[in-house]
Structure 1
Amino acid sequence: MVITVPATSANLGPGFDTLGLALNLRNEIEIKPSNITSIEIYGENAEYLRSLKRNFFVEIFSDIYKNLTGKEDKFSFKFNNKIPLSRGLGSSSAVIVAAITAAYEMAQVPYKKDKIINLALNYEPHPDNITPATLGGFCVAKLKKNRVYFLKKFIPTNLRAIVVIPNKPVSTAKSRNSLKSHYPLKDVVTNISSTAMITAAFFSEKFDILKYIVEDKIHQENRMKLMPELFRVREIALREGALMSTLSGSGSTFFNLAYKDDAYNIYSALKDNFKDFNVKILYFDNVGVKVYN
């Protein structure tokens, strides 16, 4: 069995822990029955991941497979990672979603994707990444009483993502510690209105309005101060025609949305100005986690 899962970009500015979308940058895992458990890791951060005593994917997969079947069968796992760690591209959510899905597939137990999303909450309490990783597309998600309520919208093929991946990570925990504990009412209202407008823009496909209404007063500015170069990334992207330019998750990656005809100019300007960063043009993913048997 081969399972693939997309990277994600969450928050999208004001949509803190609520908005997210899937990018066609995929981790791939091959799983086979075996006499012994074996693990091979290739791609992004492979050397670091090989050095760890625990493999998060294998632990989740094994626990759920045993719960479903009552068995402790052995498997070989081969990982080909494309999603970098601790860069705000949903690497943890990708592992969780893929591991749960793989366990159900290998156990041959029927499931629906909303089941995967809600099981993933046991490992990742924020639905803004796990939902698009599972479903693909643009997703709005709300957590209430340990259940995720969500809506998904197909992202049109005339759009591209230009992501700027810095050469150093930002810890999600450290990033969250940079946030305030209290906010003025006017700032909260700004985020509510901006999040509502972004959602409406995606669902109505009126993307030109995004450049006027994407405004965050809750988290972005403080998080970006941990890597001040990101302010310049946003400035250049918007100047060159990006529809929106936001911190991806908790960072350090910056996400930029553009029409496909504008994507290369934005990419070139960012690449010229940030030679030490990894700049990519990506398609969007509208499928989410996929399995090939």
Structure 2
Amino acid sequence: MFEVRVPATSANLGPGFDSLGIALNIHGHFLFEKTSSPDKKHLTIKAYRKALEWLNATGPDLQVSTPKKIPVGVGLGSSAACIVAGVLAACHISRQDVPKRELLQMAAALEGHPDNVAPALYGGLVSSGWREEKVFSGNLPLSGKIAFAVLIPSFSLSTSTARNVLPKNVSFSDATYNLSQLGLSISALANGDPELIRHAFDDRLHQPYRFPLIEDIDQLIDIAKQSGALAVTLSGAGPSLFLIRQRGNKLEGLIPRLAECKHRWKLRLCLPDMKGAQLKEF
């Protein structure tokens, strides 16, 4: 038996659409055991089998249980976590020491985009992108002055639904605006300047089209900022929200005000996970 622990991830962070992602200290725990009747439809087992093929290796049938889960369908990288767990399981079973950059290629190919799997593997704040059918990724600095939080709703939103509302083309002015915001956001996360953070996470490429899918969105953004959040973005495709706060500010005034919203929302304070996915054998 062995366990893979994978952090939840928040992608995009406003202007970093399909490129930025951060690992959070909310974890999914995947316990693997040999079995004679595997659940071949389980995403983790699919990833395990596919990774074995890529590694030109064979391995036993495995079953996976998840005593601690990342919330599903709310924009916290649950599918990426399943894929990363399966890929690491295949490397462990095959006894191959595979560089993380190759693990990333496998995981990103299965997920279809790297912005969640990259931070899930590497930990911390990560930028990623495709070039000539390969994924390139690098860690970015994070200030110790800031911390994070997520607002998790009682409902889910499929990534396909959130993708389908996006336009096929955007204006040149919106593209350049997002590039300027992206640069500012990376700087703000590195230096932790509260004033810069307040003005650095706006987006024109995806959030204006996805926000209407979340009924409480305007109210949530208002009360989060009134309660001390420096910035509020969608977490991935949503519907969870990613909040940036000053370290030590627990946003205590936000919790009672969540009752004003139509849907139930849960506030979870978090810090960055700087290690990424970890495997432990029992």
Please report the TM-score for the alignment, with normalisation by the length of structure 2: 0.91
Cα distance, 1:273–1:24 mapped onto 2, change above 3 Å: farther
Q: What residue is the counterpart of 1:282 in the other structure?
A: 270
Higher mean Cα deviation, 197-206 or 95-104?
A: 197-206
Q: What's the CA shift for 1:287?
A: 0.8
CA distance in structure 2 between the partners assigned to 1:109 and 1:60 by the alignment:
16
Q: What residue is the counterpart of 1:48 in the other structure?
A: none
Deviation per CA, 1:235-268, whole angstroms, max 9, x where unpaired? Answer: 1112222121000111010110112322232543
Cα distance, 1:185–1:27 mapped onto 2, change above 3 Å: same
The residue correspondences of 1:57-206 to structure 2 (distance < 5 A) are 57-65=44-52, 68=55, 70-153=57-140, 155-206=142-193
- Is the 2:142–2:191 Cα contact (8 Å) retained in structure 1? no
- Is the 1:155–1:286 Cα contact (8 Å) retained in structure 2? no
Q: What residue is the counterpart of 1:46 in the other structure?
A: none
Deviation per CA, 1:166-189, whole angstroms, max 9, x where unpaired? Answer: 111111111111112222222111
Q: Percent identity?
A: 27
Paired residue total: 279
Q: What residue is the counterpart of 1:26 in the other structure?
A: 27
CA distance in structure 2 between the partners assigned to 1:260 and 1:14 by the alignment:
23
CA RMSD of aligned residues (A): 2.1
Q: What's the CA shift for 1:122?
A: 1.8
CA distance in structure 1 between the partners assigned to 2:271 and 2:207 by the alignment:
24
Q: What's the CA shift for 1:68?
A: 3.5
Cα distance, 1:194–1:164 mapped onto 2, change above 3 Å: same
* Structure 1: stretches of 5+ with no match in the other structure: 40-52
CA distance in structure 1 between the partners assigned to 2:168 and 2:55 by the alignment:
41
Q: What residue is the counterpart of 1:42 in the other structure?
A: none
Partner of 1:22, secondary structure, is strand
Partner of 2:268, secondary structure, is strand
Please report the TM-score for the alignment, with normalisation by the length of structure 1: 0.88
Q: What's the CA shift for 1:233?
A: 1.2
Q: What's the CA shift for 1:217?
A: 0.9
AA aligned opposite 1:6: P
2:200 to 191, 213, 238: 213
- Is the 2:148–2:242 Cα contact (8 Å) retained in structure 1? yes
Question: Are 2:14 and 1:17 aligned?
Answer: no
Cα distance, 1:70–1:82 mapped onto 2, change above 3 Å: closer
Cα distance, 1:246–1:69 mapped onto 2, change above 3 Å: same
- Is the 1:3–1:98 Cα contact (8 Å) retained in structure 2? yes
CA distance in structure 2 between the partners assigned to 1:266 and 1:138 by the alignment:
28
Q: What's the CA shift for 1:87?
A: 0.6
CA distance in structure 1 between the partners assigned to 2:139 and 2:53 by the alignment:
31
CA distance in structure 2 between the partners assigned to 1:250 and 1:263 by the alignment:
25
Partner of 2:175, secondary structure, is helix
Higher mean Cα deviation, 96-105 or 205-214?
A: 205-214
Higher mean Cα deviation, 94-103 or 232-241?
A: 232-241
CA distance in structure 2 between the partners assigned to 1:68 and 1:91 by the alignment:
24
CA distance in structure 2 between the partners assigned to 1:75 and 1:167 by the alignment:
32
Q: What residue is the counterpart of 2:230 in the other structure?
A: 243
Q: What's the CA shift for 1:223?
A: 0.4
Deviation per CA, 1:150-200, whole angstroms, max 9, x where unpaired? Answer: 221354555332211111111111111111222222211110100111112
Partner of 1:264, secondary structure, is coil
Q: What residue is the counterpart of 2:251 in the other structure?
A: 264
Deviation per CA, 1:94-143, whole angstroms, max 9, x where unpaired? Answer: 11111101110121101121111111122112111111111110111121
CA distance in structure 1 between the partners assigned to 2:21 and 2:108 by the alignment:
16
CA distance in structure 2 between the partners assigned to 1:213 and 1:66 by the alignment:
43
- Is the 1:236–1:269 Cα contact (8 Å) retained in structure 2? no
Partner of 1:195, secondary structure, is helix
Cα distance, 1:125–1:76 mapped onto 2, change above 3 Å: closer
* Structure 2: stretches of 5+ with no match in the other structure: none
